[in-house]
Amino acid sequence: MTWYQKTLKKYGKEILTGAIFSVICTLAFLLWIYGMGKTFTWTDISPIDPPSIFVRFLYSALTFVTLGRILYVTGFYKALYQIIGDWQSFKEAKVIIWLLLMGAMFFVIVPTIVDILNGILSVGYNLFALILYAFPPVGVSLIFFVFYFYFKRKLRPIS
């Protein structure tokens, strides 16, 4: 017999009593909330705002670090220079490519990333709200557990 089987056998009645009490409280709270007429509604939240125009001026640096770096590492600019052959035409083509990359970063990539992050946060928020709505004791216990775990790690002495 393993340790958890021994523990379950020894404390099974207490565990079952606690579980039944939690389920009864959950159902009572659920009926109480339902009786008050409150219903669960999916809420769309957007905690991350799209960047302002002043922040978007930094897109040149972001483009340089991401897309520009990828083109440089893959040898795109060397191939472009070999195709064009003329230094001045190469510089003009590079400016056009750079403007297209900044436009893609400005209009497509960053707004898409912001929308994805907002969607993830919105789904997480709504799932947590659903848990709190359907199972208040479980939700409150989860909140207390997170705080306990956080403060236990935060206040642990450094050895």
pLDDT of residue 98 exceeding 80: yes
Three-state secondary structure call for residue 144:
helix
Q: Please tell me the predicted confidence (pLDDT) of residue 76.
A: 92
Q: Which residue has the tokens 């799209």?
A: 50
Q: Please tell me the predicted confidence (pLDDT) of residue 82.
A: 92
End-to-end Cα spacing for the chain: 37
Spatial neighbors of 69 by CB under 8 A, at least 6 apart, are: none
Residues 111-139: pLDDT tens digits?
Answer: 898 889 888 988 888 887 787 777 777 76
Yes or no: say if 60 and 95 are a contact pair by the CB < 8 Å rule. no
Q: Please tell me the predicted confidence (pLDDT) of residue 17.
A: 76
Q: Please tell me the predicted confidence (pLDDT) of residue 25.
A: 67
pLDDT of residue 44 exceeding 80: no
Residue ranges of the domains in the chain? 3-155
Angle at 4 between CA 14 and CA 143, to 5 degrees: 60
Q: Higher pLDDT residue, 152 or 111?
A: 111
Give the span between the Cα atoms of 80 and 58, in whole angstroms: 26
